[in-house]
Amino acid sequence: MELSEEDQATRVFLRIFPKKRVRISTKCTNCLKCLEVCPTGAIYLKNGKLLVEVKKCVACYACVITCPEKAITIEWFDGRLEEVEVEDNI
Ligand code: SF4
Ligand code: SF4
């Protein structure tokens, strides 16, 4: 799967302004393909639940490209919100 133009733009943007959120939607089927491809170990399982440790994420988008359900989105956020280390499933 190729990245959408929007994802490509966000990836470039995140290199410059590396504040981000990683969201895993309810479309997730727990196939764990994203966990296998994540190069930094940012995606992990806790009590059977898929979680992302945002500080470890380098916005490589491997998980976004790999997810068969298109369940993962990465977005920049401006820091006015409190930074969260672990983004729960939504
Ligand atoms: S690859 Fe997609 S569907 Fe599979 S576990 Fe990750 S988020 Fe869920
Ligand atoms: S974008 Fe890359 S580093 Fe971040 S969670 Fe996905 S695979 Fe891991």
Q: How far apart are CA 53 and CA 46, in angstroms?
A: 11
When pLDDT is cut at 50, 70 and 90, the band that residue 76 belongs to is confident
Q: Which domain holds residue 11?
A: 5-87
Percent of the chain past pLDDT 70, that is, above it, reads 86
Ligand in closest contact with the CA of 42: 2
Q: Which residues line ligand 2 (CB under 6 A)?
A: 22, 37-38, 40, 42-43, 52, 57-63, 74
Closest ligand 2 atom to residue 58 Cα is 3
The predicted pLDDT at position 37 comes to: 97
Domain count, the chain: 1
Look at residue 27 and tell me whether its pLDDT is greater than 60. Answer: yes
When pLDDT is cut at 50, 70 and 90, the band that residue 84 belongs to is very low
Closest ligand 1 atom to residue 32 Cα is 5
CATH, residue 43? 3.30.70.20
The predicted pLDDT at position 21 comes to: 83
Residue 32: left if φ>0, alpha if ψ -120 to 50, beta else—which one? left
